[in-house]
Copies of this chain bind each other. A is one copy, B any other.
């Protein structure tokens, strides 16, 4: 079986959420697995000088409209959270506290849906723990080893060039944005 797709995303990213809802069938269709790799865009922004979409004049207003329209276009339930964006370090740590890829993916989907469907503020640690608990997970988010592990993952993402969300790497080829899924699909049939 060919190597899995590396799927980088931030838990506060609307386009990352749309990608999370669609990536598995796309990968499976081409006999691929997916390695989910949440990261913290805030750390990448320190390198690039970027900032969250809502903070950009003109682009910020446009983006809110585009999130909603893109979700409708792709038939994905979506609600713009009351608190947006939020810091996602607790969400990231909860994810990396788990060791099985299946558990991680289930938690990631639950966190994304809590935030973008149920309007749960996953920027708050307490809410991250509630979402985790509903799946039977009780991570210790204050554990130093977990904090270090999360930091290492975030730094590794930046070292690989990840500056946005979603960001996919397929056999070494990088694709930024949910709107590159058409090119990802072609690439999975063979580089072009």
Residues of chain A touching chain B, judged by Cβ–Cβ distance below 8 Å, are 44, 47-50, 56-59, 61-62, 65-66, 69-70, 72-73, 158, 161-164, 174, 176-177, 179-180, 182-183, 186, 192
Contact = CB atoms under 8 A, between A and B. Distances in A.
B174 A177 contact: no
A72 B173 CA distance: 15
B48 A164 contact: no
Contact of A73 (B59, B176, B182): B182
A13 B44 CA distance: 25
Contact of A57 (B47, B183, B186): B47
A56 to B, nearest CB: 5
Number of copies: 2
* Prevailing SS type, chain A contact patch: helix
19 contacts: A49-B56, A49-B57, A56-B163, A58-B158, A58-B162, A59-B163, A62-B163, A62-B176, A66-B176, A69-B183, A69-B192, A70-B183, A72-B192, A73-B182, A73-B183, A73-B186, A73-B192, A177-B179, A179-B179
- A-B complex: 5 closest residue pairs judged by Cβ atoms: A179-B179, A58-B163, A48-B57, A59-B163, A73-B183
A65 B192 CA distance: 12
Nearest to A66: B176
Contact of A164 (B59, B70, B72): B59
Given A176-B66, A177-B179, A186-B73, A58 B161 contact: yes
Contacts of A174: 62, 65
B44 A58 contact: yes
A161 B44 CA distance: 27
A179 B50 CA distance: 21
B176 A179 contact: no
